Structure 1
Amino acid sequence: MMTIFWLVLCCSALSAGANNQTKVPVTPLSEVISGFSLELLLTRLDIMQRKQEELHDKLFAVLSNLEREIGRNFSGLQQRSPQPVTCTNHGEHRADVSQKSNQISTPSTTEQTEGLVYSSCKEVPSNVSGPYLIRINNESEPFTAYCEQQAFDGGWLVVQHRFDGSLDFFRRWTEYRNGFGDVRKEFWLGLEKLHQLTSARPNELIMEIKDFSGNYGYARYSAFEIGSESEKYRLKSLGKYSGTAGDALTRDLGMQFSTQDRDNDRCNVNCAYVYKGAWWYSTGPYSNFNGLYMNSSDGRAMIWYSPKWTYTGMSYTRMMIRPFK
């Protein structure tokens, strides 16, 4: 009996002791892995940073060597005498125009003189053709114009020029009003500028043409003026004709300017749309300087209708004005 009592007492004591033991926390396996990954990532970042610093040092050394090499080459170039450079403007085609007529000069590539503004090309003191800044009056903004300073005694402001067909001239009213192209290449100055120029003072006009066979001619008019946009840039004045190309413009006197989206002519159809140009059309395309650039006898071409050329497409046209007072 006593033996059983002591056995029961010992079991109770062991049970109580087991319940009073402190539980040991166990770290989850996922947290152990996360900590290891973070440590590995930091180690890799440290390695990458060291490699980046090494690369930066190598790049700096290469750039330093390159800078020294450029300095030596530049010093060598300064010791050499400059060599003349010959440039051909607008290609062989334009040079050919100059050779066949003493009235056409090859434009210079000289940039416009910075800071100098002139009231007209006639006021430019230089005999070098090229772009210059022109201001019509004290209230207007200056704009870049191409001045022909050699042909026909110089002083001419170029309004239109075509010689290689690189620019599309079949455009809308807004573009013809504002102008388009580059004055050093093919371009149209703009009807609004042309109106301001011709209404500010009396001007004369020259129209130059050359066909694909090399035949050259010009038409000169002693007066030229166009109206404002509210007048649809009407051809208001055209003086006496002289020249070698024949007169193909007088019959358009009094006409308003027409484009593919503004039909202001006297044709039964929209001449500008049908003949793929923009001009002071009357009843047909007697002159179509802004037509298609094509070597063809076609009313849609750049034509100057006269006994010598009829509807022959031109390879070269140039339109210029000059104040005569």
Structure 2
Amino acid sequence: MTRCDVSSHLSQLETFLFLVLAPVLIHCYCDLPADCSDIYKDKSNTSGVYTIYPVGSTSGVQVRFILSGVIQRRMDGSQNFYRPWCDYKTGFGVAAGEYWLGLENIFHLTLRQRYELLVDMEDFDGKKVSARYSSFSIDPESYGYKLQVSGFTDGGAGDSLTYHSGSKFSTMDKDQDANSGHCARARLGPFWHNSCNYANPNGVYRRGADNNPSRVGIEWYHWKGYEYSLKSFSMKIRPVK
């Protein structure tokens, strides 16, 4: 039995238990936060790790809340990001460190209202730049979790993401890109690959300029090109007011 099969069986068990216990517990769930905007509404909350429930009361997932909700973070190479489809669907890592929120969670979050995206990155010399997109969402799994992003504003990084808009998500075991090859394998980084990429935020964690092998690091082409792997990278979303 694979890890994905185990996750599926656990999900079915959790659903069954919830149906049995729902009449007893339902009164506890009325105020659960569905996304980071619900946390933000409580002015007493500060930055930190919180649990949100994007798909309902059984879908608790931890996020790091810093005014914007972090859906992806690279910072030290502590997590392996070269993972199969099931991991990218459900999410992995630690909210206070390196992690991926999960495609299904991101879909449900961006389904509720309009979101904007902020991409922050830093090189190994300590220079920090960003890119902002006024509209960000993804389609459901039946459409390959296709990326919808637009409205670029430059914060010094240049635009390496608009090229990926309209692309389905690809992983090591699920090829949905527009290339005749397999971009997620060739770049060692699952992502919304087109043919193939200008951005590779889920690539191998490396230290700066390194082209052996080529084009497999954490890259943002319009800032550092293909042969430089960034020190840190994060994607944050927040509701558009």
**Taking structure 1 as the reference length, what is the TM-score of the superposition?**
0.59
**CA distance in structure 1 between the aligned counterparts of 2:196 and 2:59, rounded to whole angstroms:** 37
1:310 matched to 2:225: yes
2:198 aligned partner, one-letter code: Y
- Equivalent position of 1:42 in the other structure: none
> Mind listing any 5+ residue stretches in structure 1 that lack a counterpart?
1-114, 149-153
- Equivalent position of 1:236 in the other structure: 148
- Equivalent position of 2:36 in the other structure: 121
Q: What secondary structure, in the 3-state scheme, does the structure 1 residue paired with 2:224 have? A: coil
Equivalent residue for 2:63, pick from 145, 166, 188: 145
2:240 aligned partner, one-letter code: F
Equivalent residue for 1:134, pick from 52, 67, 90: 52
CA deviation after TM superposition for structure 1 residue 163, in Å: 0.6
1:225, 1:238 within 8 Å by CA — same for their partners in 2?
Answer: no
Q: Give the number of equivalent residue pairs.
A: 204
Which of structure 1's runs of 4+ aligned residues deviate more than 4 A? 137-140
1:188 matched to 2:104: no
Q: What secondary structure, in the 3-state scheme, does the structure 1 residue paired with 2:109 have? A: helix
Q: What secondary structure, in the 3-state scheme, does the structure 2 residue paired with 1:205 have? A: strand
After superposition, residues 207-286 of structure 1 pair within 5 angstroms as 207-286=119-198
Higher strand share: 2
**CA distance in structure 2 between the aligned counterparts of 1:276 and 1:157, rounded to whole angstroms:** 26
**CA distance in structure 1 between the aligned counterparts of 2:86 and 2:55, rounded to whole angstroms:** 23
Mark the CA change 1:139 to 1:129 in structure 2 (over 3 Å): closer, same or farther.
Answer: closer
- Equivalent position of 2:206 in the other structure: 294
Q: Using CA pairs below 8 Å that are at least 6 residues apart, which structure has the higher relative contact order?
A: 2
After superposition, residues 200-211 of structure 1 pair within 5 angstroms as 200-211=112-123
2:217, 2:229 within 8 Å by CA — same for their partners in 1?
Answer: yes
1:318 aligned partner, one-letter code: S
CA deviation after TM superposition for structure 1 residue 200, in Å: 1.2
Mark the CA change 1:192 to 1:138 in structure 2 (over 3 Å): closer, same or farther.
Answer: closer
CA deviation after TM superposition for structure 1 residue 127, in Å: 5.6
Q: What secondary structure, in the 3-state scheme, does the structure 1 residue paired with 2:89 have? A: helix
**CA distance in structure 2 between the aligned counterparts of 1:318 and 1:241, rounded to whole angstroms:** 16
- Equivalent position of 2:237 in the other structure: 321
What's the Cα RMSD here? 1.9
Higher helix share: 1
2:35 aligned partner, one-letter code: S
1:117, 1:132 within 8 Å by CA — same for their partners in 2?
Answer: no
After superposition, residues 7-26 of structure 1 pair within 5 angstroms as none
Quick check: which has more Rg, 1 or 2? 1
**CA distance in structure 2 between the aligned counterparts of 1:252 and 1:210, rounded to whole angstroms:** 21
2:55, 2:105 within 8 Å by CA — same for their partners in 1?
Answer: no
CA deviation after TM superposition for structure 1 residue 199, in Å: 1.2
CA deviation after TM superposition for structure 1 residue 182, in Å: 1.0
2:37, 2:239 within 8 Å by CA — same for their partners in 1?
Answer: yes
Mark the CA change 1:212 to 1:164 in structure 2 (over 3 Å): closer, same or farther.
Answer: same
**CA distance in structure 1 between the aligned counterparts of 2:183 and 2:217, rounded to whole angstroms:** 13
**CA distance in structure 2 between the aligned counterparts of 1:126 and 1:270, rounded to whole angstroms:** 47
2:86 aligned partner, one-letter code: T
1:169 matched to 2:74: no
**CA distance in structure 1 between the aligned counterparts of 2:168 and 2:232, rounded to whole angstroms:** 25
Mark the CA change 1:305 to 1:139 in structure 2 (over 3 Å): closer, same or farther.
Answer: same
